[in-house]
């Protein structure tokens, strides 16, 4: 198990390195001059030259990449801008701050948004999936499948905007979405995120309902489920201890992907609800050609997905002993 | 009688029509004895057993007749009563031990949970009992194997574990649904020996479902031959295998390879295909495949459905007079030996 984990983590590190390199060369190849942006409106050539030196972009690309990479582990000094402590993901000339600081500033918003919604859609999706599978062909099952079809078809900018209009501006059922740190005001934190959570969950639940239902239907016909019944296990224990166990694997798989994607930046959700998370940061970075920030958000998104993959793979082994031993 | 099944009928309502899986089936099993139920796939063997266990979905299966275990009616019993009986008084082992054991739980846990559920004992007592059962079914190092998963067991070991699980509560009735079909021949013999040995120790009544007449010959005391959801012949193992009376039983026996038979002589399968259970043939359900219909005439064979006769002892459901059946059988036997 330990060897398996070590192998997976090393593999993940290699993938991240490759992604960083590709992204780096891709971004720095585009004809935007960060120094010009950094230097301001009136920019005499010598100031521009100075800015280039300060940012380190007068160096060859490969050298730049190596100093970017080593900055993550040992920090970097920018001439005229100051020290960027490790982990240094670069210095944003737009925000006039180390990128890592900005990311850490925005991260709680995205994580709170993602995890809150994830808890709702995971529990609710799996529960409705189980109920639908047990009521196969009954009205409840049909309602669930129509609802999940609708849920899977609508887009967040539609439902989100509609929900904002109906529940915030028209009826004030929910308060205006905003992010308040949980350490400052837990209730405010909850209220501010409730509507985004629900809207995000509404859209994601559908997928979990469908997958849980279909695997559950399959599993309920498994021989070992019949054996459990034949030995007198109660209906509930047959469903929860035996049939559900086999359903967890596909659910965990998509959950890992969804969670990774959302942590990497729920761009549309954050934009719809005006939350200042990683997604918004990425969009802004594109608008301002803020390459260091953009680079960091891309690597972060990739890192989130790679990390979730390792977590999911480890969870397979927890769920299914056959994976553990082979 | 320990288990009495009377006039059991099981119909399934499907989109294609009503499937008459079992029709008017009656049989009995005594304590300590083994009933072999023989028939082709789709002859209603498994459906009958699932009915005894009460495992049919009440929404799709329509069951009538009577099944009593030790005098207690099972068909009208409540769900919780059946849950208390299953695994405790009636246990079942299935054909494929790999898919029938949960891949997610240790073998020991799967055995122990039955004991805990029905006997209300503590975890450690149930675990000790699981180890004891594994030992009894001949699994070496039961204290180690108790914590292993089914995929770490070999096929024969899995079926032994399945038997341990079925017998953990000392059930009065054990239903073994093709317990050896998925195993190779040497393991088959071991498993059948084990079942016989355990039966001698505990006096459990066994229903052994199989399409393998060799298994019947080595294990069963009584035999019930089923065709299209009905009993076509019933008797002791010797009676049915040595003096078979029903043309279908002749067909089954004829499709079995024998040592006397020359190696290059082709097997004689039963002609035709098993009937549709939605439109069961009128009269004797076997008549479309029967070679002896002209002896009686189509009217007789497609008229009223023959019942098992005589009512007790060795009986079969065919209108041919007993004398004629004996002649046909003896002529066939003579041909085989010359």
3-class SS letters over B73-85: ECCCCCHHHHHHH
Question: How far does B78 lie from chain A, in Å, by closest CA?
Answer: 13
**Measured distance CA(A155)–CA(A151) in Å, rounded:** 8
* Chain B residues within 8 A of A320 when measuring between CB atoms: 103-104
Chain position carrying tokens 């009915």: B51
* Nearest alpha carbon to residue B203 among B29, B73, B26, B6: B29
Residue B205 bridge partners (DSSP) = B173
Q: What are B194-212's pLDDT values in tens digits?
A: 999 999 999 999 999 988 8
Helix (H) / strand (E) element for A114: namely helix A99-134
Tell me what ipTM this predicted complex has. Answer: 0.86
pLDDT at A80 over 80: no
Orientation angle between helical segments A244-263 and A291-319, nearest 10 degrees: 170
Q: Which two tokens stand for residue A173?
A: 């059922």
- Nearest-CB residue to B101 (from A227, A246, A320): A227
Residue B36 bridge partners (DSSP) = B208, B223
Question: How far does B237 lie from chain A, in Å, by closest CA?
Answer: 28
Query: Going by DSSP bridges, is the β-strand pair B34-38/B222-227 parallel, antiparallel, or unpaired?
Result: parallel
* Chain B residues within 8 A of A222 when measuring between CB atoms: 99
Between chains, do A232 and B55 touch, taking CB under 8 Å as contact? no
pLDDT at A237 over 80: yes
**Measured distance CA(B179)–CA(B172) in Å, rounded:** 18
Q: Which residues have C-beta within 8 Å of that of residue B245, sequence separation ≥ 6?
A: B233, B314, B316, B318, B322, B325, B329
Question: How far does B117 lie from chain A, in Å, by closest CA?
Answer: 8
Q: Which residues of B touch A (CB under 8 A)?
A: 53, 55, 79, 83-88, 91-92, 94, 96, 99-104, 113-114, 117-118, 149, 151-152, 165-166
**Measured distance CA(B10)–CA(B61) in Å, rounded:** 7
pLDDT band with cut points at 50, 70 and 90 for residue B261: low
Question: How far does B241 lie from chain A, in Å, by closest CA?
Answer: 31
CATH topology of domain B1-79+203-338: Rossmann fold (3.40.50)
Q: Which residues of A touch B (CB under 8 A)?
A: 222-224, 226-235, 242, 245-246, 319-322, 325
* Nearest alpha carbon to residue B5 among B175, B121, B149: B175
pLDDT band with cut points at 50, 70 and 90 for residue A60: confident
Tell me what pLDDT residue A62 has: 85
Between chains, do A231 and B91 touch, taking CB under 8 Å as contact? yes
- Nearest-CB residue to B151 (from A231, A232, A322): A322
pLDDT at A137 over 90: no
Between chains, do A232 and B101 touch, taking CB under 8 Å as contact? no
Q: What are B150-161's pLDDT values in tens digits?
A: 999 998 899 999
Between chains, do B118 and A232 touch, taking CB under 8 Å as contact? yes
Let me know: does A224 contact B101? Beta carbons within 8 Å: yes
Q: Is A80 exposed, middle or buried (0-12, 13-18, 19+ CB in 10 A)?
A: exposed
**Measured distance CA(B37)–CA(B231) in Å, rounded:** 9
* Chain B residues within 8 A of A252 when measuring between CB atoms: none
* Chain B residues within 8 A of A231 when measuring between CB atoms: 86-87, 91, 113-114, 117, 165-166
Positive or negative, the CA dihedral A230, B211, B302, B240 is negative
Q: Left (φ > 0), alpha (ψ -120 to 50) or beta: where does B138 sit?
A: left
Selected for mutation to probe chain A from B100, B101, B173 (highest A CB count within 10 Å) is B100
Domains of chain A and any CATH numbers: 2-99 (no CATH), 102-325 (1.10.3720.10)
Determine the number of helices (DSSP H) and then strands (DSSP E) in chain B: 14, 11
* Chain A residues within 8 A of B117 when measuring between CB atoms: 231-233
The dihedral over CA atoms of A94, A96, A100, A105, expressed in degrees to the nearest 10, equals -90
Q: Which two tokens stand for residue A92?
A: 């944003």
Q: What are B41-78's pLDDT values in tens digits?
A: 888 998 999 999 999 988 889 999 999 999 999 999 99
Selected for mutation to probe chain A from B54, B59, B103 (highest A CB count within 10 Å) is B103
Between chains, do B113 and A325 touch, taking CB under 8 Å as contact? no
pLDDT at A216 over 80: yes
Beta-carbon contacts below 8 Å between A and B: 70
Tell me what pLDDT residue A38 has: 65
Q: What are A87-122's pLDDT values in tens digits?
A: 888 888 788 888 898 999 999 999 999 999 999 999
The per-residue pLDDT of chain A, averaged, comes to 86
């Amino acid at each position: 198990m330990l060897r398996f984990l070590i192998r997976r983590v090393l593999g993940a590190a290699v993938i991240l390195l490759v992604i960083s390199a590709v992204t780096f060369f891709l971004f720095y190849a585009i004809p935007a001059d960060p120094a010009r942006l950094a230097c301001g409106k009136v920019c005499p050539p010598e100031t521009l030259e100075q800015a280039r030196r300060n940012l380190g972009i007068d160096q060859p690309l490969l050298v730049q990449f190596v100093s970017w990479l080593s900055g993550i582990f040992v920090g970097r000094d920018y001439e005229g801008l100051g020290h960027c402590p490790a982990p240094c993901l670069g210095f944003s000339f737009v925000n006039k701050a180390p990128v890592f600081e900005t990311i850490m500033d925005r991260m709680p918003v995205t994580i709170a948004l993602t995890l809150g919604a994830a808890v709702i859609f995971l529990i609710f999706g799996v529960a409705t999936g189980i109920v639908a599978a047990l009521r196969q062909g009954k009205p409840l099952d049909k309602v669930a499948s129509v609802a999940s079809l609708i849920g899977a078809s609508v887009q967040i900018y539609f439902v989100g905007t509609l929900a904002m209009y109906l529940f915030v501006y028209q009826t004030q059922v929910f308060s205006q979405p905003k992010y308040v740190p949980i350490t400052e005001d837990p209730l405010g934190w909850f209220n501010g995120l409730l509507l985004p959570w629900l809207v995000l969950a509404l859209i994601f639940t559908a997928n979990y309902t469908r997958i849980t239902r279909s695997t559950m239907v399959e599993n309920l016909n498994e021989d070992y489920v019949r054996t459990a019944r034949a030995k007198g296990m109660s209906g509930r224990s047959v469903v929860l201890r035996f049939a559900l166990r086999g359903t967890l694997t596909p659910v965990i798989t998509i959950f890992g992907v969804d969670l990774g994607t959302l942590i990497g930046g729920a761009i549309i959700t954050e934009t719809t609800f005006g939350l200042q998370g990683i997604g918004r940061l990425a969009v802004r970075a594109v608008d301002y050609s803020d390459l260091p920030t953009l680079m960091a958000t891309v690597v972060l998104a990739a890192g989130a997905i790679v990390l979730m993959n390792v977590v999911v793979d480890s969870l397979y082994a927890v769920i299914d002993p056959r994976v553990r031993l082979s | 009688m320990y288990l009495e099944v009377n006039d059991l009928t099981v119909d399934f309502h499907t989109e294609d029509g009503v499937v008459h899986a079992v029709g008017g089936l009656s049989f009995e099993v005594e304590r300590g004895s083994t009933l072999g139920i023989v028939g082709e796939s789709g002859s209603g063997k498994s459906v009958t057993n699932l009915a005894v266990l009460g495992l049919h979905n009440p929404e799709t299966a329509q069951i009538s007749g009577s099944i009593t275990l030790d005098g207690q009616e099972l068909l009208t019993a409540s769900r919780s009563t059946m849950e208390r009986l299953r695994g405790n008084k009636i246990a079942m082992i299935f054909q494929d031990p790999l898919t029938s054991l949960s891949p997610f739980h240790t073998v020991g846990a799967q055995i122990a949970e039955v004991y805990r559920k029905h006997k209300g004992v503590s975890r450690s007592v149930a675990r000790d009992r699981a180890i004891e059962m594994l030992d009894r079914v001949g699994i070496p190092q039961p204290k180690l194997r108790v914590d292993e998963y089914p995929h770490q067991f070999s096929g024969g070991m899995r079926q032994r574990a399945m038997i341990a699980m079925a017998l953990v509560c000392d059930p009065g009735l054990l239903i073994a649904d093709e317990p050896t079909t998925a195993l190779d021949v040497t393991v088959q013999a071991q498993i059948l020996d084990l079942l016989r040995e355990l039966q001698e120790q505990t006096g459990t009544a066994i229903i052994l479902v199989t399409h393998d007449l060799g298994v019947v010959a080595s294990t069963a005391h009584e035999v019930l031959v089923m065709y299209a959801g009905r009993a076509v012949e019933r008797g002791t193992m010797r009676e049915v295998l040595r003096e078979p009376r029903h043309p279908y039983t002749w067909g089954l026996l004829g499709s079995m390879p024998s040592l006397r038979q020359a190696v290059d002589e082709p097997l004689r399968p039963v002609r035709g295909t098993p009937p549709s259970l939605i439109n069961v043939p009128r009269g004797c359900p076997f008549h479309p495949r029967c070679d002896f219909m002209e002896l009686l005439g189509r009217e007789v064979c497609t008229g009223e459905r023959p019942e098992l006769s005589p009512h007790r002892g060795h009986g079969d459901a065919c209108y041919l007079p007993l004398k004629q059946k004996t002649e046909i059988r003896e002529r066939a036997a003579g041909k085989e030996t010359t």
